[in-house]
Structure formats: C-alpha cells, structure tokens
Chain A
C-alpha cells in the first residue's frame, strides 16, 4: 500500500487528472469572470473538440497534437460567433445585462441540448476512439502511456502560457482588470467589448483543445461533455469564480484528492470525497479558496 502511494504512478495519474480539469475549467472561468455568463454548454465544446480530433485522425491521419491548433482556431471562431450572435447586445444594454447571469444559464442550456442532439444526429451516439501514442513507457518503476503523458505535457504548457499571458501581457492585464472590476476597467480605458470577445474566443478554444487531448485517452460520444461541465463548475467555484490561477490550483487539488483519496479508501468514495471537500470549502470560504470576498459590481 505505502509502496503504491509513494510510487509516482499515482502522482502521474493525479497530475494528468488535474491538468485536464484545469484546462477544461479555464474557459468556463474566463467567460464567467469577464461577463458573468454561466456556460453550461462548456462541456459540449470539450465533446466537439474530441470529435474534431477523432475525425481528423481517422479520416485524414492527422495527429491530434497537430490538429489541435486548427481545432482551437475553429472553436475560437465559434466563440466569436456566439459572442456576436447571442450575447454582445445583451451585455451592452443595462436592462438585459442585469438579468444576464440567470438568462445565460437558460440560453446556454438550450445551446447544450441543441449541440448534443446535433452531434448525436450527425455522428450517432456510438462511442468513438482511436489509437495514438498508445505504447507504454517506463521511467524507473512508473509506467506511462504515451498519449496520457503527451496530454499532460500539452495541457501544462498551455496553462502556463495562458497564465503568463494574463500576468504579463497588457491585454491579459486588461482581461484580469475586467474580471476584478468591470466599471473600474472601463474607467481606465479598457476596451471592454474587445476583451469580452477575446475571453469568449479563448474560453471556447481552450475547451476544444481539452477535448482534443482527451480524445487520445478516452472515447468520445455526444453525451460525454456534461460530466466535464460539472467538473469545471466544481473547480471554478472551489477556486473562486473568476480567479484564473485559483481555478488551476483547485483543479490540481481535485486531481490529487481524487487519486490519493481513492487509493486510501475505495473507488466508491470518489464522489463523497470530491463533493465533501467541495461543500466544506463552500462552508468555510464561500468565495472559494482563492476568491475575494465581496466583489463590487
């Protein structure tokens, strides 16, 4: 038992899970943070990204690590379209903006149902999977499947890049400014429309990338997205809504909790552990682990 705990095998599993959660949750957090839009169709973007990678690989033989870039761009374009088509006007008018948080929930819910069923109609509900980097590598006593390792590395690199962008680049700073204080950001001259647009594109793009990475390690079907929506919400709320770095740390924490918690108890306690800690965090720190109390709006 102790051997297993200390072996590194579990650490790898925990990191892989954590990185996936972090990447999936990132987009949700961006869209919520900047616009207070609750995107319950977020997991469905993950699903679409998975399908895109699957078809690129099986029809054209394109490695998911290559098609990733195209998938990210296509999803970003979809985010753009959603922003301009569905939300821009509502965000602009004060009458609708006040109710937007709850309205967006219903709107995205509708989008989710349409996307899932359109996918079922187009691709059938049969699970799809493919073989890519499926060979096992051994490092000491740790065994790693190539695709899990690749997914972990790509996700970690992307997360680091996005975090750096948000902390160092002027546009990233504007985005964070908008998350922290909308009116304040407007006063100091942040182009709110542009930043909102970028959050949508980045949010959608990163979700689809997560889907493409996941398609290497698990099957995709039209209804695989919803569990990721739930996971993303847990991560985002636990980390603090709108706190990008906080979300990433919460994701890592969940990955560790899930893996080591299960190892110490039993797989059947997974949900109890996850949601138990989640509820505990909400009870003790309602604003999330890294969220700020009393955000002025």
Chain B
C-alpha cells in the first residue's frame, strides 16, 4: 500500500447554532485504504462525511480530499469522489442501464465510454439479463451492489459509503465486501460507515466517533488489544457507553 494520503483533515468542526455536531476531528486516510468510520447514531458521522464530500461547509478546521481543499475546491472534490447514501440511491423507476447512463452522464463520461463500461459492469456482476429491468424490481442486495458499482463507475479516487449494507442479508453482505476489496485493490480508497461490527473487522483502519469527537483510531487488531477486548463489538461498546448525547 502506498503511503500517499488522499484525505487529510485537522480540527474539522461543524456547528449548527450552539450545537457542535462535529468537534475538532483530525485524521488521515491513505490511498487504497479501507477506512471504517464508526459511531453511534447521532455521533456526527454523516455530518463529517458530508463535509468531506463537499455537500456541507465546515465551520472551522482545514482539510483536503483527493488533494483539493474542502473549503474552496468542493466542485473539484465532487468530480473525484463517488458517494453512496444511506437510503437507496438509484432511481427505482429507471431501468438498470438508464441509471448507469444517467450517472455516467452526470460525471461527464462520453456516450462511448458509458456504453463500453456498462457492458463490462453488467458482465462482471452477471447482470446482463437485468439490463432492461426497472430497478424497483431488483432484490435489495442486488440494488446495493448496483448502487456501489454506479458510485465507482467514473473511477473516483475515493468512494464514500454511508451504511451501504443496511438491511442486507449476511451472504449478500459478504459479496458486497468482496466488491469493496476489489475496488480497494484497484486503488480506490473506500471510506465506509457501518453499524455492523463484523464489517469493522474487514477495514484496514477504523475510527470511532463519540459525541462529535474521534475517540479511537487504529487498525482493528490494535484497537482490540488497546481496549483489551475480544472483538470490535466490545471496543465499540466500551467507547459508546461514554456518550452523553442521546439520539
């Protein structure tokens, strides 16, 4: 793994009035890394992620994503990242190929490239026969796989996944993580939030947010030994117990 940082953040803060949703967080993410971003509901994960994606303006601090400043260059950031939201993020009343085409178009890919990559993608997923299916008729696990493929369709430097496997069965989750590994092998950095602690074990490094701050950040193995815990689940519980905010 290369040692180049694709995300560098220091003292990043977001306040909504008197409420500090994200409180001076600092961390770096390396290229090709799978970075787990954990925290209880309301800990500030989504807000932090939105700042990194250029959706939300930080109140203080500084940071770069894919080499671009999060204050001044969020349009450039948006070009170089992929994003998969917590809610299912494709259009249910569009066909599979139409969704791919739409997002390809939004990211400025040419028709030729889109056509070629669509074929490749469908083949890879064994999805050829579903090309003309309306997305709403796909099973949830397939939808999520498709949504992930669409999020990295334009070969971004970083892909942000906000609880990508919510509600998906374990077998499907396993397949989904294989796709994440494949993307990481191709050099795409994966920034993922999750509620499943077994998934946290799959990450190269994990940060745990409590009340808007990052209370722990290391590889899963290091965290387990630091907190003298059997599993990530136990690490998480120890930290989350300290939370004062109630969702």
Q: Do A and B bind each other?
A: no
B interface residues, Cβ below 8 angstroms from A = none
